[in-house]
Amino acid sequence: MTPLMCAIQNKIKDIVNYLREKLDMLDMTVDINSQNKDGETPLILAIQSGNKNTVKYLIERKPDINLSLTDYNELTYLHYACKYGLEDLVKYLIEEKSMDINSQDKYGMALLMYAIGSKNENVAKYLIERKSDIDIKDENRWSCLHYACKYRLEDLVKYLIEEKSMDINSQDKYGMTLLMYVIQRKDQNMIKYLIERKPDIDIIDNDGWSYLHYACKYGFEDLVKYLIVNNILKQNSSFIDAYTHQRFTPFRLAIDNNNENIVKLLINHDKNRIDVNLQDIDGCTPLHYVMMAGYENMAIYLKNKGAKINIKNRKGETPLLLALHYRYAKVINNFMFYSFINPFYIFFFEIRKKIIQK
């Protein structure tokens, strides 16, 4: 690394100015294209430091800059200008130096993606106006629309969808759509907007997750209501009890995350398809998981909806035994049918626990 590179990287303004003055006075030259171990040049370091004066000086003073150089991640000067939001430099490199507006780094990320990542909507819109290819996708099959959603640039998202007709149903390498990502991130405004755009509700990701699975896991009651009100769950009744590749149903996900309102919506919507006593590969019913998680109100609700408290899992545990183990008094008291044998259950459970511990 040269002295100039060290000074720029460490933002030592006086030394940078001193070196600049000496170079001018002595008409000395310095290798403006020298690169450090990461492939960074003095100009790249100047861009990173945010020192616009140094950037301007290096460009004006050193006409022999090799604009085709990239760092080890194959980022060009134009990538860096977009990444750090230097609008004037972006325009200069595109309009005066004719740099490729669609160049991608080693991960497939285009200039527009970097501009969006810096949340610089002016640069992003400039690139779009210059006919940047908005359909370019990175190695994860993310487009600029995915990045706009990720960085919560709502105006840009709406512009890309409404003015540029970008596909809201496009899936990345994991099969996930924009709506799935914004549900994960719990972005209420964007969820509402995307639902209003009427996405394809039949889409599932590579792990077998539908929109209903995501809504149940992350607690989006309004999305579940939307699916019900628009008769989507009636038209696609298999959604209700569809398994993901990890063997989760929407109902199970709602229970695991204590989303009581969603559980009620699902049961009341189609009680014929919701088996509250369905056992998984471990022999556990929803009530087993509710007991293990300590959701007492949910347990009482499920029992009132027909959940059985004496079904054994593969370990021989029943929901009632789990309630006794965790001493959920509210739940135990509610299981009135068993109240007359509670002392015997407790005695049996304590003896069993001691035997297991031995």
Helix (H, G, I), strand (E, B) or coil at 110: strand
* 263 in a structural domain: yes
pLDDT in tens, 318-329: 998 898 888 887
What pLDDT was estimated at residue 214? 95
pLDDT in tens, 264-289: 888 887 666 678 898 888 899 999 99
- Give the angle 179-160-100 at the CA atoms, nearest 5°: 120
Strand partners, 282: none
What pLDDT was estimated at residue 330? 83
* 212 in a structural domain: yes
> d(Cα 132, Cα 150) in Å, to the nearest integer?
20
Name the pLDDT band for 128 (thresholds 50, 70, 90). Answer: very high
> d(Cα 86, Cα 163) in Å, to the nearest integer?
26
Angle between helical axes of 52-61 and 42-49 (0-180°, round to 10): 160
Which has more pLDDT, 50 or 158?
158
* 97 in a structural domain: no
**φ/ψ of residue 62, rounded to 5:** -125, 85
* 225 in a structural domain: yes
**φ/ψ of residue 110, rounded to 5:** -95, 170
Helix, strand, coil: what percent of the chain each, to 5?
A: 55, 0, 45
> Which whole number is the average pLDDT over 293-322?
91
Question: Position of tokens 């003015």?
Answer: 163
Beta-strand ranges (E) seen in 129-268 are: none
* 233 in a structural domain: yes
* 9 in a structural domain: no
Query: What share of the chain in percent tops pLDDT 90?
Result: 46
> d(Cα 244, Cα 267) in Å, to the nearest integer?
19
pTM, entire model:
0.78
Helix (H, G, I), strand (E, B) or coil at 306: coil
* 200 in a structural domain: yes
What pLDDT was estimated at residue 31? 75
What pLDDT was estimated at residue 275? 83
CATH number, position 181: 1.25.40.20
What is the residue range of 257's domain?
167-274
Angle between helical axes of 260-269 and 211-218 (0-180°, round to 10): 140
What pLDDT was estimated at residue 253? 92
How many domains would you assign to the chain? 1
Q: What would the two tokens of residue 219 be? A: 């607690």
* 340 in a structural domain: no
